[in-house]
Amino acid sequence: MNPQYRLVHFAPTPGLGARVPIGALTLDDAGVAFVRSPHLPRAECVGGRPGDRVLHLVLDRLEAARSFDELPKTVGHSVVLGEPKPMPCEVTTEAWVRGLFAPLVAQTAEAPRFKERSRADMGYSFFAAYHLEKHVRKRFDPSEFWPDVQLPSSASLYAVGENELLLMEPIVFSRPHRQVEEAAADVSKRFSVYRVARDIEHVIQAFTPKLIAFALHSVDRDTKAEVLSRVTPYADLVYDVDRPGDRMDLVEIVRRTVADHGTGLLGH
């Protein structure tokens, strides 16, 4: 098969016909893939921070592309697909296509990094949807609970019950794969700190933290399963919110934990 590519353009200004290349769909013997441009436009070129947010949303959604003929259904009016073009047979597809965007380097050097919503914010939104925002808190600070114990590890979210503390880490998959891997490693490391502390610190044993990881939506089930399998040994409980049963179990454990405890141990 002769490999081909189709440029994918972001349309930042409705009605004016402006187009900014943000990547390409490729087709070769390995199948269809989306190659992200290594040099994306600055936020001010795509309508500021809101436009930048939409740009990165569609970039994440384009990762799910499995057809060379059309864009994924979740990609709407912000993106335009270019015509199919051939590429040389003897090249490495991804590297060659990434090279297409090279001329943009000089123009976009020092582009400010896109500020994504934090994992904590995105996980918190899940609980807010279930009206648990009064009970689930962001950014657990262990020194507030255990002033005499040196614990360098915080947690993204937590909920406090009469005798129980839930430390919760969301894993966000709508991000480049490398960031997902880093987040999984970070969660494992944080939980590991608490697991060891649980074993050796009697102060912590008196008020045992339960370590919960939960996965937000992912189109790639294999990747999700693989990432969760690496977090599982460190977590007490792992949930996948794409599964209705898991979702309800996660909500229920938080509800049960906080049921008799007002808004939190520290009166937060």
Partner 1 sequence: MGDAEDELATPLPTPEQLGLGLAYEIKALRGVVDLEPVPNRRPERVVYARSPDGALWVRKMDMPPAERIAEALGYLVCRCVGVPIPDAAVAVDGERVHWLSKVVHPSEVWGPELMYQIYNLDDLGRLLAIDAVLHVPDRHGDNVLFEPSDEGWHLWAIDFDCARIGDPGWLLGSMEHEPLPLAAELPGLDVDVIAGPMRQCADYLAALNLSDARDLAGAACAAARVTGLKERLAEALVTRCSIAPSLVSEYTQLLRTQA
User: Which residues of the chain form contacts with partner 1 (CB under 8 A)?
Assistant: 11-12, 14-17, 46-47, 49-51, 53-54, 57-58, 60-61, 71, 73-80, 117, 122, 125-126, 128-131, 173-174, 216-217, 219, 241-242, 244, 247-248, 251, 255
Minimum CB distance to partner 1 smaller for 244 or for 267: 244
Q: Identify the residue whose tokens are 């199948």.
A: 31
Minimum CB distance to partner 1 smaller for 50 or for 233: 50
For the bound state, the minimum distance from the C-beta of residue 72 to partner 1, rounded and expressed in Å, comes to: 9
Minimum CB distance to partner 1 smaller for 27 or for 258: 258
Q: How far apart are CA 259 and CA 252, in angstroms?
A: 10
Minimum CB distance to partner 1 smaller for 189 or for 243: 243
Integer CA distances (angstroms), 267 to 145, 157, 250, in order: 12, 16, 23
Minimum CB distance to partner 1 smaller for 80 or for 100: 80
Torsion sign, CA atoms 228, 231, 234, 236 = negative
Among the listed residues 81, 79, 57, 60, the one whose alpha carbon sits nearest the alpha carbon of residue 69 = 81
Torsion sign, CA atoms 19, 23, 29, 31 = negative
Enumerate residues 6+ apart whose C-beta is below 8 A from 78.
10, 11, 54, 55, 58
Q: Is 49 exposed, middle or buried (0-12, 13-18, 19+ CB in 10 A)?
A: exposed
| Contact indicator for 241, 215 with CB cutoff of 8 Å | yes
Minimum CB distance to partner 1 smaller for 77 or for 178: 77
Minimum CB distance to partner 1 smaller for 75 or for 168: 75
For the bound state, the minimum distance from the C-beta of residue 147 to partner 1, rounded and expressed in Å, comes to: 33
For the bound state, the minimum distance from the C-beta of residue 23 to partner 1, rounded and expressed in Å, comes to: 16
**For residue 166, what are the β-bridge partners?**
159, 210
For the bound state, the minimum distance from the C-beta of residue 131 to partner 1, rounded and expressed in Å, comes to: 4
As a whole number of Å, the CA-based R_g of the chain is 22
For the bound state, the minimum distance from the C-beta of residue 203 to partner 1, rounded and expressed in Å, comes to: 33
For the bound state, the minimum distance from the C-beta of residue 124 to partner 1, rounded and expressed in Å, comes to: 9
For the bound state, the minimum distance from the C-beta of residue 254 to partner 1, rounded and expressed in Å, comes to: 11
**For residue 33, what are the β-bridge partners?**
26
